[in-house]
Amino acid sequence: MTMQPIHATAVARHTPAGWRGALIQGPSGVGKSDLALRLIGQGWRLIADDWTHLWASSGALYAAAPTAITGKIEVRGLGIVAAPLWPMTRIVLAVACTHEPVERLPEAAAWTWDGVMIPQLRLDPRPASAGQVVATALAAL
């Protein structure tokens, strides 16, 4: 098992299958941390903000925070603050954040890391409903 850091934020929630997470990706300033903060407000837990250790094991993806940033999230306009943490989770959804228009009824998409493919949701993180869209997508898996 080799953990590699990836520029992404990871959050998780408890599901009937146990803790499952979403990997929130996109360029700097797109709103990854803001989306994570809204999900945390809905009861999700932070895995890692901005940089996430990601690895594949037994056909699944897992994420954890680098030690230096464990339990911390950037809140734009406020700074770095503590957040409710979950130390590690299985990642089952990739969220590709964009400010470009998103199709209303898109074709299914996937994202692959180290040979493991997971569903990918393309999303503009700015609307108030973005957190609920992520929660709905994760619940459907």
Number of domains in the chain: 1
pTM higher than the cut 0.85? yes
- CATH code where residue 122 lies: 3.40.50.300
Domain that includes residue 25, residue range: 4-139
Strand partners, 85: 46
| Strand, helix or coil for residue 32 | helix
Q: DSSP class of residue 85?
A: B
- Chain CA centroid to CA 11, Å: 5
pLDDT tens for residues 23-59? 999 999 999 999 999 999 999 999 999 999 999 999 9
pLDDT tens for residues 73-126? 999 999 999 999 999 999 999 999 999 999 999 999 999 999 999 999 999 999
Phi, psi of 126 (to 5 degrees): -75, -35
